[in-house]
Amino acid sequence: MQNKSVLINKDNFKTFKNNACSQAGKIKNKISRLASYAMPYPMDIEMEITHRCNLSCRFCFQREESIKANNQPRKVPYGELDVSIIEKVLRETSEVKSDLYMHGGEPLMHQEWNDVAKVFEKYPRRLRLSTNGLLLEKRMESILRISKNLVIVFSLHGFKGSFDTYSRKGMYDQSNRNLKLILSLKKKGVYRGLVTINCVLNEQVIPNLFNFTKYCERIGVDQLIISYPWYISDHTRRKMDMYYESHFSWLNSKSKLENNKPSWYNYSFHLDPSVTNTLCNQIDKIESTKRKLPIRFHPDLKKNEIYGHISGKNRVTRRKQYCMNITKQMFILPNGNVSACKVFNEFYAGNIYKQSLIDIWKGERMNNIRKIMNNSFNDGSWPVGVCSKCNLLSGNQL
């Protein structure tokens, strides 16, 4: 089996991106011949290792789960993925070295974080770690030990005003100090990975977006991702309710969230569409200024698509859509549930506490979900508006 270990640096980032694009084309061809097509192993595995979080960002779609998990005692199966299960996932994919994306909640809040890091030392592979950075200094020793293959995806949604308004008042300085700390260790060659900033657009940062990009460049960030908040309008949620009921009612109650509302109801935060002009002006300024810092908008909208997108219009204006996720990526929740969709965990395909990774990946249940989803994308019955912010729609990842 092919060993696809990837050394990460700025030079091979472009190659990596090009490979992903050509791979997307090949996968699309295979899906058109077989709707249940999947790669032999998941190439990417996303693990939400804990629901716990030390912030409560207004645009976080997992806010409710985080609040619940923070109030739970140690070692409850709902709120945290057990270290032995994380090890099991890495062991089962050690030959193919699936890429990992670890997030939460706040992954550094995992109550056995040091043991989690030891597992990554034992089974090294490309790892993206999404963090708000507040615990970075405290966890630095373990972070440095695994840093060779690490991309820290640092959530920072603008300057102090944004942090105070949208995340948690008074914590900006700690977050910013830790960001500068990791970047200074990187300059000295002590931290050997990359640092990406993920900034979710909000009404405080938009008028200062250009300045924010300059700030990220000045302090030495490797990449900046600017994400639109994921907003699913009421109209689209109801369409998704109907679609799920008609195509997926055979998925049993395990697929349901502990609260009774399906997960597509969590995406309610949105920008006021009146910010569109200011945002477009800032984007113009960013685009017309020479810079070294790679910046990616997520999704990468044209100017005339921004207003509709922010308003939550049920419209995806790109070429014919399909989902890259179900053929190549596995998504594992803190309770061990595996969902075929990385965003909506109602597409329950199995549980990693009870089954092997490959049994879930190749199982009848997962294949049926793939088949129905791909056929629905193909015949237009899938309410594609629910996916319009997903980086896996049409293989638009990275």
Interacting residue ranges for ligand SF4, rule: CB under 6 A:
323, 325, 341-344, 387, 390, 392-393
| Residue 156 or 387 with smaller CB distance to ligand SF4 | 387
Nearer to ligand SF4, 167 or 388 (CB): 388
Give the type of residue at 365: R
Nearer to ligand SF4, 153 or 324 (CB): 324
Rounded to a whole number of angstroms, the minimum distance from the CB of residue 322 to ligand SF4 is 8
How many Å apart are CA 352 and CA 88, to the nearest integer?
9
Q: Which of 55, 112, 56 is closest to 86 using CA atoms?
A: 112
Cα-Cα-Cα-Cα dihedral sign, residues 209, 210, 213, 219 = negative
Q: Between 199 and 387, name the residue whose CB sits nearer to ligand SF4.
A: 387
Minimal distance, residue 129 CB to ligand SF4, in Å: 20
**Minimum distance from residue 208 beta carbon to ligand SF4 (Å):** 30
First to last CA, the chain: 24
Half-sphere exposure of 71 (CA within 13 A, CB side): 5
- CB-based contacts of 149, cutoff 8 Å, min separation 6: 5, 6, 7, 8, 124, 125, 126, 127, 193
Q: Which amino acid is at 319?
A: R
Q: How far is the CB of 111 from ligand SF4 (least distance, A)?
A: 29
**Choice between 186 and 389, CB closer to ligand SF4:** 389
Whether 128 and 151 have beta carbons less than 8 Å apart is answered as: yes
Compare residues 146 and 323 and give the one whose CB is closer to ligand SF4.
Answer: 323
CB of 13 to ligand SF4, least distance (A): 23
Nearer to ligand SF4 among residue 41 and residue 166 (C-beta):
41
In terms of Cα–Cα distance, which of 152, 156, 178 is closest to 168? 156
Angle between helices 303-310 and 276-287 (to 10 degrees): 140
In the complex, the smallest distance separating the C-beta of residue 43 from ligand SF4, rounded to whole angstroms, is 14
Contact criterion met (CB below 8 Å) for 190 and 81:
no
Least Å distance, CB 378 to ligand SF4, is 13
